[in-house]
Amino acid sequence: MHGGNIKEAIERYNLKGKRILDFSANINPLGPPDYVRDIILDNIDCIKHYPDPQSKELKTMVAQYLGVGEENVIVGNGSMELIYLITKALFHREGLIPSPTFREYESSLKSFGSTPRYLRIREEDDFQLYSDDIIKNLHRSKLLFLCNPNNPTGRMIGREELKTLINHTEKNGVFVVIDEAFIDFVNDAQDESMVNLAATGKNIFVLRSLTKFFALPGLRIGYGVGNSGLIRRLEGIRGVWSVNTFAQAVGSQVLKDKGFIKKTCEFIKEERRYLFDALSGFNSLKPYLSSVNFLLIKLIQDKVNSKYLTQALGKRGIMIRDCSSFRYLNSRFIRIAIRRREDNLCLINNLREVLDLG
């Protein structure tokens, strides 16, 4: 039900030994940086020791990277651990989830016996979410999950509008979890991020990830930012050693790599424009504007649905994300990650063939 399950695709489409182009997982095509290999080699002998239970070095690097205090940072086994951890700490009876969005907020709430409520993000607005809508629909919910920029829509609520929302939630004792897993891909990410407000605010927890931007999903590295009391509370209710040795070692290094960060942002901006334009050229496709490294696309011809397209491309070794399992989306929607030009061209060519046949 998530993107990026290569092994399953190999079995399903009989692709063993064939080249696979994975547009289903939103991973930076420029990564991981080459030197990650050396960091892993240098740390192999360390696996016979327990990892640092505090992830001190990585925490220091994250704090420097964001310009917040170390006491405002918690590191997790992917941001996934932190989604479940914050839900556990808050233990609210219900939480509001503007949707379509990443599925794990809902799963996390349900796993603790809490009730997820949903706010439909409107297709008529091209899936742009507005603060007013959220405020109007909070009702009794004292917990809000916000994926910003949002997965799978690629849309972002801008800083000023988000501040208005947070002004409201802080006044009304509503806790906001903002998942910024994709914000590093945004132009001027530091200006758009809410990490500074999270470090000083009462009721905000911001989630970030190294998975997507540095292309390290196999290592599991995520982090969160909140006020120091909240961070202490979170550290106090989880098991030790959740962040493995390689995650700590690699995470500490890649965040320093300003060159890679700049190059990625420029590359994604350029390639997003290219891919958006190319996809817009299809009569049968409607791509939505995106702030990040993936595009939501509507299939506007009745005869081709997401399942058909996913399978037709899958057989050709091209994985895309069928979005029919997302709440408030259906079999008219797919999501594709932005990759290198040659791969994007390959996708476009295959789409042309498949859609003509469809």
Per CB under 8 A, residues contacting a copy of itself are 2, 4-7, 22, 25, 27, 31-32, 36-37, 40-41, 43-44, 46-53, 56, 77-78, 80-81, 83-84, 88, 104, 107-108, 111-112, 215-220, 236-242, 244-247
Tokens of 333: 């929607």
What minimum distance in Å lies between the beta carbon of 48 and a copy of itself? Answer: 5
Report in angstroms how near the CB of residue 352 gets to a copy of itself at its nearest. Answer: 27
By beta-carbon proximity to a copy of itself, the closer residue of 36 and 73 is: 36
Question: How far is the C-alpha of 37 from the C-alpha of 28, rounded, in Å?
Answer: 17
Q: How far apart are CA 20 and CA 316, in angstroms?
A: 8
CB 103, min distance to a copy of itself, A = 9
CB of 255 to a copy of itself, least distance (A): 16
Q: Rounded to 5 degrees, what are φ and ψ at 84?
A: -70, -35
Nearer to a copy of itself, 2 or 263 (CB): 2
Q: By C-beta, is 169 or 242 nearer to a copy of itself?
A: 242
3-state helix, strand, coil in the chain (%, to 5): 45, 15, 40
Comparison of 6 and 300: residue with beta carbon closer to a copy of itself = 6
The residue among 44 and 300 lying less far from a copy of itself, judged by its C-beta, is: 44
- Of 151 and 305, the one with the shorter C-beta distance to a copy of itself is 151
Q: Which residues contact 38 (CB under 8 A, 6 or more apart)?
A: none
Report which residue type is found at 343: D
Closer to a copy of itself by Cβ: residue 107 or 311 = 107
- Is 107 or 324 the residue whose CB approaches a copy of itself more closely? 107
Distance in Å, CB of 152 to a copy of itself, minimum: 16
Q: What does the block give as tokens for 69? A: 């205090």
Taking the complex as a whole, the smallest distance from the CB of residue 312 to a copy of itself amounts, in Å, to: 22
Non-local CB neighbours of 76 within 8 Å, separated by 6+ positions: 82, 85, 221, 222, 223, 224, 242, 243
Structure tokens at 189: 């990410």
CA 145 to CA 148: how far, in whole Å? 10
Fill in the amino acid letter for 323: C
CA proximity to 293, closest of 210, 180, 219, 213: 213
- Closest approach of a copy of itself to the CB of residue 45, in Å: 9
In whole angstroms, the minimum distance from the beta carbon of 107 to a copy of itself comes to 7
Q: Which is nearer to a copy of itself, 8 or 277 (CB)?
A: 8
- For residues 293 and 185, the answer to whether their CB atoms sit within 8 Å is yes
CA end-to-end distance (rounded Å), the chain? 24
| Whole-angstrom distance, CA of residue 119 vs CA of residue 124 | 14
Q: What is the 3-state secondary structure (H, E, C) of 27-56?
A: CCCCCCCCCHHHHHHHHHHHHHCCCCCCCH
Q: Could you tell me which residues come within 8 angstroms of residue 30 by beta carbon, excluding any fewer than 6 positions away?
A: 215, 260, 263, 264, 267, 340
Shortest distance (Å) from residue 29 CB to a copy of itself: 9
Q: Considering only CA atoms, which of 108, 78, 77 is closest in space to residue 92?
A: 108
